[in-house]
């Protein structure tokens, strides 16, 4: 029950942080993979970014289960300390832990400047399951 409530709260929070149109932004390459601790144990994965522009102060990060529309596992703004978001950086991270089978998960990252303006965007989709 606690897991369901946490997931519902995260989904509601993510809906309030709807992403702006990113189609015109410069692209970043997003690299990550799910280790066992990044799934049902709830520790966010390390995310490596290539092509991060100058002037970035924050990253908006979102993890979505593409096989369950509207189910967001993580939506958070993190301080940018270089092109790597360290493992475990995510407060409120609800890792992929599907009841059965494999699901497709997408991490999206928007790099923003000190005024909150988007500077670049990247995403990556991977499969994960039990």
Q: What mean pLDDT is predicted for residues 70-86? A: 93
Whether the CB-CB separation of 78 and 87 falls below 8 Å is answered with no
Sorted by sequence, the CB contacts under 8 Å of residue 95 that are 6+ apart come out as 34, 38, 39, 40, 41, 42, 43, 44, 73
| 61 confidence band (pLDDT: 50, 70, 90) | very high
Q: Specify the higher pLDDT residue, 83 or 130.
A: 83
Whether the CB-CB separation of 6 and 94 falls below 8 Å is answered with yes
Q: What mean pLDDT is predicted for residues 24-50? A: 93
| 130 confidence band (pLDDT: 50, 70, 90) | low
CA distances to 1, 68, 83, 125, 127 from 33, rounded to whole Å, are 28, 20, 16, 9, 9
**pTM for this model (two decimals):** 0.82
> Which residue in 3, 123, 2 sits closest to 63, CA to CA?
123
pLDDT beyond 50 at 5: no
**CATH of segment(s) 2-129:** 3.90.280.10
Domain boundaries of the chain, sorted by first residue = 2-129
**The pLDDT of residue 67:** 92
């Amino acid at each position: 029950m606690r897991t369901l409530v946490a997931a519902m709260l995260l989904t509601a929070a993510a809906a309030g942080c709807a992403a702006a149109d990113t189609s015109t932004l410069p692209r970043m390459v997003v690299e990550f993979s799910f280790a066992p601790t990044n799934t049902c144990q709830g520790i966010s994965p390390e995310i490596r970014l290539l092509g991060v522009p100058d002037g970035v102060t924050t990253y908006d990060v979102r993890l979505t289960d593409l096989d369950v529309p509207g189910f967001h596992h993580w939506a958070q703004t993190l301080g940018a300390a270089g092109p790597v978001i360290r493992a475990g950086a995510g407060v409120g991270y609800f890792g992929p832990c599907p009841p059965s089978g494999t699901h497709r998960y997408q991490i999206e990252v928007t790099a923003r400047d000190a005024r909150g303006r988007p500077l670049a965007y990247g995403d990556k989709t991977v499969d994960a399951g039990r």
